[in-house]
Amino acid sequence: MKIFKLLLVIGIISFFSFTLPKNVLKKVNKEIVKLYETENFKLENVSISEDAIKTLGSKFNAEDFYKIIIGEELAGYAYVDKAPSKTAQFDYLIILDQNLAIKKAKVLIYREEYGGEISSKRWLKQFIGKVKGHVISLNEDIIPISGATISVRSMTNAVNELLESLDYLHKNNSF
């Protein structure tokens, strides 16, 4: 009976250790394959202390922040989250290099009728190169989009929170 309970607990932990929805995970994998030009990679959850998590603006847990491993080497990091739009939320992906600079920003799933222009590659390129600790300014670093004001602000705020959190984690050796 004890062995059965132990196996059940291990199975549950394994099942929930990678809880991105399948449709989101598929899109994340596709973007990593395109960016790194390889299908031979793995995503590993980044472990962050409970104390650090409590102080962060962005949420960090096993569902959001991953190491991208190619072979045995750290290729970068992937952060997946949701941000609010006018009446719903959209899923987005930020891929970072080993130095925590943004290599790619992608809106994975946009659920609104209006504001979907934030999904354009051209607009999202504005985030590339931004690094941990950098504060992105709307109208200076990021050009707004008429008709997508809420989503533009939301994506900009989400990336700012991520960069601020990464700076804190890096300075405190929290991962």
Q: Look at the block and give the residue holding tokens 């992608």.
A: 106
Q: Which residues contact 4 (CB under 8 A, 6 or more apart)?
A: none
Degrees (nearest 5) of the Cα angle 72, 44, 67? 75
Beta-sheet strand order (sheet of 42-45): 42-45, 65-70, 73-84, 89-96, 102-109
Whole-number Å distance between alpha carbons of 129 and 103: 6
Q: Is the pLDDT of residue 73 over 60?
A: yes
Distance of CA 121 to the CA centre of its chain: 17
pLDDT tens, position by position, 1-10: 544 333 333 3
pLDDT tens, position by position, 85-109: 999 999 999 999 999 999 999 999 9
> Backbone phi, then psi, for 101, in 5-degree steps?
-100, 145
Higher pLDDT, 48 or 71: 71
Domain coordinates in residue numbering, the chain? 20-171
Contact 108, 93 (CB under 8 A): yes
Q: What's the mean pLDDT in 146-159?
A: 95
